């Protein structure tokens, strides 16, 4: 049952309902076991955080930073802040020193909660340059403090400051005085197109998104959620808060690289993910098909063919599958499909929300064919995540991002731009009035920058208006559409389209290096990646595969030339955001010579 208490009271209220039942789980890397946190313990830790922050004199609506990987302590700090009307600001765990310095100065932060050694080291250096910072609280006990550090304390010490409920009256007073218009979070956008902006999220926005998300998806207090995306990401944050309000068990995955292991250990029923996760799963199964025996290959392919017919062509369209198809699917569901799910740890799968970028059609069809209920959706930081998603019990078309949830008004502006109004939409960007006025017009409509249309009640995205390229021939190119189509190739890991103000479309390609080396061995070549990326025979091989995939594109949209890159795009070089989205201006600058070479006569 959904608990509609405000975030300031939510954990204490759930503890009254569920008591010693498990609320959170996390992996203890020392013992290599998952440990449980009960709702009672969760509530006690939140209360201790509130008390300790008040002992430090935290003001109403003062900003507190959390700079860590996903940890249960992040949730203790978040909800501890909400209870005393403070604002929690999460930083991505991979944020650079310059990014942290910018956010700390922009938000005038005094206290930063850090996770592991990297975050501590960065925050300590920032503290030397940012006069507002007074204290660091270190979550990981194994972090080694700088010898000059006289002000940082470990989380265990911090919690002890709040034991015994010394500021109970002040907590109750602030909780009672909380306004729905109070800020709960400031989430700094990843900055794909410029300087990072702090999106202001209020308590009302979270209450509204939980209220309107709940009727359209079958989440219950029996669900076990694996938290894979960073809590800094609005998708994971809003999703987790809804799970908490439903009484679910949250299993907090600390290290993103461990997600496949965590899936097999936790066996979650739900997990939100970005399409890139499912692209990797798809590629893995395709590789299994390719390398399997003839019998294995035939059986998996037939199981997926039957699964696609059953789930995509009938069930998702609201149609009843024929008896013969139902019987064949049930057989595969108990054998091949069950084995695929078991290998992923998804035997108990309920549904898996997926958003953040375009989902390649082949990948979405594959996931549904495998009997996994992927819930495609669309949202932004500025809308507290969900704008639309595939509704439980409603028809869904592959390629759509579902139906707009309640509480939102939608209309389409110039160039079919999606415009939104509602309680889940931000009131603007922190300390950036001019940017706010550019995003929210005089009538109160938030301009998303995404173009789309509605057909039969479903929302379809066409392109990102700001990302549209115009060739020197006057043709408009939607790079994400092309990239989404091409990245499913097993030999391609990443691809970036180049076309703006150019006479034709080209691409920078990050090969799948393991597949590239295997190809080289089959062709009798050395496996040096740098040499292979320059090899004309290899480049021709890649171009042929791209030509096969892009046949459906108009001639002016088709990639004419490519450059294979021997190193992946990286956070360190500023080519990726913290959510691993590409920064086109940076990539264009970093690879200017490679790009120019593709346009030489």
**Could you write out the three-class secondary structure of 359-407?**
CCHHHHHHHHHCCCCEEEEEEEHHHCEEEEECCCCCCCCCCCCCEECCC
pLDDT digit string, tens, across residues 68-110: 999 999 999 999 999 999 999 999 998 889 889 999 999 999 9
Determine the average pLDDT of the residues in 521-550. 94
Per-residue pLDDT at 191: 58
CA distance 438 to 440: 6
Q: What sign does the dihedral 28-151-79-162 (CA atoms) show?
A: positive
When pLDDT is cut at 50, 70 and 90, the band that residue 475 belongs to is confident
* Backbone region of residue 589 per phi and psi (left: phi > 0; alpha: psi in -120 to 50; beta: other values): alpha
Euclidean distance between CA atoms 101 and 472, whole angstroms = 40
Domains 275-465 and 468-598 equal at CATH topology level: no
DSSP lists the bridge partners of residue 564 as 509
> What's the pLDDT at 555?
85
Per-residue pLDDT, averaged over 11-31, amounts to 97
Q: How confident is the model at residue 552 (pLDDT cuts 50, 70, 90)?
A: confident
Task: List, edge to edge, every strand of the sheet that includes 505-511.
Answer: 492-498, 505-511, 559-564
- The whole-number pLDDT of residue 290 equals 86
Q: Return the CATH fold of 275-465.
A: Rossmann fold (3.40.50)
Residue 335's alpha-carbon distances to 299, 307, 324, 339, 367, in angstroms, are 10, 12, 17, 6, 16
Domain made up of 468-598: CATH architecture = 2-Layer Sandwich (3.30)
Task: Please provide the average confidence, as pLDDT, over all residues in the chain.
Answer: 94
Q: Which residues contact 559 (CB under 8 A, 6 or more apart)?
A: 482, 486, 497, 505, 506, 507, 546, 550
pLDDT of residue 383: 98
The phi-psi region of residue 385 (left if phi > 0; otherwise alpha if psi is between -120 and 50; otherwise beta) is left
Q: Work out the average pLDDT over 497-505.
A: 89
Task: Please report which helix (H) or strand (E) contains residue 113, including its range.
Answer: strand 111-114
The pLDDT > 70 percentage for the chain reads 99
Q: Which residue has the tokens 């171009």?
A: 543
Three-state DSSP state, 278 = helix
Residue 521 to residue 368: CA distance in whole angstroms? 35
pLDDT digits (tens, 9 = 90+) for 372-399: 999 999 999 999 999 999 999 999 999 9
Residues 113-172 pLDDT 10s: 999 999 999 999 999 999 999 999 999 999 999 999 999 999 999 999 999 999 999 999
Decide if 375 contacts 388 (C-beta within 8 A). no
- CA atoms in the 13 A half-sphere facing the CB of 285: 25
Q: What are phi and psi of 584, to 5 degrees?
A: -55, -45
The Cα 230–Cα 174 span in angstroms is: 29
Q: Domain map of the chain by residue range?
A: 7-178+217-266, 275-465, 468-598
The 3-state DSSP class for residue 291 equals: helix
Whether the model pTM is above 0.85: yes
The model's pLDDT over 209-242, given as tens digits with 9 standing for 90+, comes to 999 999 999 999 999 999 999 999 999 999 999 9
The tally of CA atoms less than 13 A away on the side-chain side of residue 80 is: 29
Using DSSP's 3-state secondary structure scheme, residue 225 falls into strand
pLDDT of residue 573: 87
- Tell me which DSSP letter residue 519 carries: H
The CA-atom distances, in angstroms, between 60 and each of 84, 111, 174, 180, 575 are 7, 14, 8, 14, 38
Cβ atoms of 590 and 567 within 8 Å: the answer is no
Whole-number percent of the chain with pLDDT over 90: 83
Angle CA(461)–CA(359)–CA(333) in degrees, nearest 5?
130
Residue 190 confidence (pLDDT): 66
Paired tokens of 534:
């320059």
How far apart are the two ends of the chain, measured CA to CA in Å? 66
pLDDT at 467: 72
Q: What fold is seen in the domain 7-178+217-266?
A: Rossmann fold (3.40.50)
| pLDDT > 90? residue 195 | no
CB of 238 within 8 A of CB of 381?
A: no
Of 450, 449, 545, 532, nearest in space to 489 by CA = 545
């Amino acid at each position: 049952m959904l608990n509609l208490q405000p975030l300031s009271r939510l954990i204490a209220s759930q503890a009254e309902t569920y008591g010693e039942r498990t609320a959170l789980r996390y992996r203890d890397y020392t013992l290599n076991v998952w440990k449980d946190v009960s709702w009672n313990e969760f509530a006690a830790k939140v209360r201790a955080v509130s008390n300790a922050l008040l002992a430090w004199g935290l003001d109403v609506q003062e900003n507190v930073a959390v700079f860590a990987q996903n940890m249960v302590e992040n949730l203790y700090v978040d909800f501890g802040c909400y209870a005393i009307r403070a604002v929690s600001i999460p930083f991505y765990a991979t944020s650079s020193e310059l990014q942290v310095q910018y956010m700390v100065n922009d938000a005038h932060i005094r206290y930063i909660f850090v996770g592991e050694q990297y975050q501590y080291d960065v925050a300590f250096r920032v503290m030397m340059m940012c006069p507002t910072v007074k204290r660091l609280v270190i979550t990981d006990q194994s972090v080694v403090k700088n010898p000059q550090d006289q002000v940082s304390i470990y989380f265990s010490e911090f919690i002890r400051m709040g034991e015994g409920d010394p500021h109970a009256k002040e907590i109750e007073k602030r909780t009672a005085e909380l306004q729905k218009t109070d800020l709960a979070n400031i989430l700094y956008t990843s900055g794909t197109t410029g300087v990072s902006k702090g999106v202001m999220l209020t308590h009302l926005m979270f209450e509204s998104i939980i209220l309107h998300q709940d009727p359209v998806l079958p989440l219950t207090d029996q669900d076990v959620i694996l938290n894979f995306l960073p809590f800094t990401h609005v998708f994971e944050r809003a999703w987790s808060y809804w799970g908490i309000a439903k009484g679910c068990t949250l299993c907090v995955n600390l290290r993103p690289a461990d997600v496949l292991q965590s899936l097999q250990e936790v066996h979650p029923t739900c997990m939100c993910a970005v399409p890139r996760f499912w692209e990797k799963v798809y590629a893995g199964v395709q590789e299994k098909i390719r390398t399997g025996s003839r019998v294995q290959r035939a059986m998996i392919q037939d199981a997926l063919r039957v699964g696609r017919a059953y789930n995509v062509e009938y069930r998702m369209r609201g149609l009843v599958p024929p008896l013969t198809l139902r019987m064949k699917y049930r057989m595969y569901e108990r054998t091949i499909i069950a084995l695929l799910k078991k290998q992923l740890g998804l035997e108990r799968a309920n549904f898996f929300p997926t958003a953040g970028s375009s989902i390649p059609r082949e990948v979405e069809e594959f996931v549904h064919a495998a009997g996994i209920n992927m819930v495609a959706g669309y949202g932004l930081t500025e809308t507290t995540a969900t704008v639309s998603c595939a509704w439980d019990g409603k028809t869904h078309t592959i390629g759509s991002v579902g139906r707009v949830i309640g509480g939102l008004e939608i209309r389409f502006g110039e160039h079919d731009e999606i415009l939104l109004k509602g309680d889940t939409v931000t009131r603007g960007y922190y300390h950036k009035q001019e940017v706010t006025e550019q995003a929210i017009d005089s009538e109160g409509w938030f301009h998303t920058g995404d173009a789309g249309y509605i057909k039969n009640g479903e929302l379809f995205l066409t392109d990102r208006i700001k990302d549209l390229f115009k060739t020197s021939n006057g043709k408009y190119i939607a790079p994400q559409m092309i990239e989404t189509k091409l990245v499913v190739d097993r030999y391609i890991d990443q691809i970036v389209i180049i076309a703006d103000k150019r006479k034709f479309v080209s691409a920078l390609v990050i090969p799948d290096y393991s597949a590239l080396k295997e190809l080289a061995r089959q062709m009798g070549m050395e496996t040096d990646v740098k040499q292979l990326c320059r090899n004309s025979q290899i480049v021709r091989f890649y171009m042929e595969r791209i030509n096969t995939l892009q046949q459906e594109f108009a001639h002016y949209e088709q990639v004419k030339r490519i450059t294979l890159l021997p190193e992946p795009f990286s956070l360190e070089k500023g080519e990726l955001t913290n959510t691993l989205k590409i920064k086109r201006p940076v990539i264009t600058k970093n690879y200017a010579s490679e790009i120019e070479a593709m346009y030489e006569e």
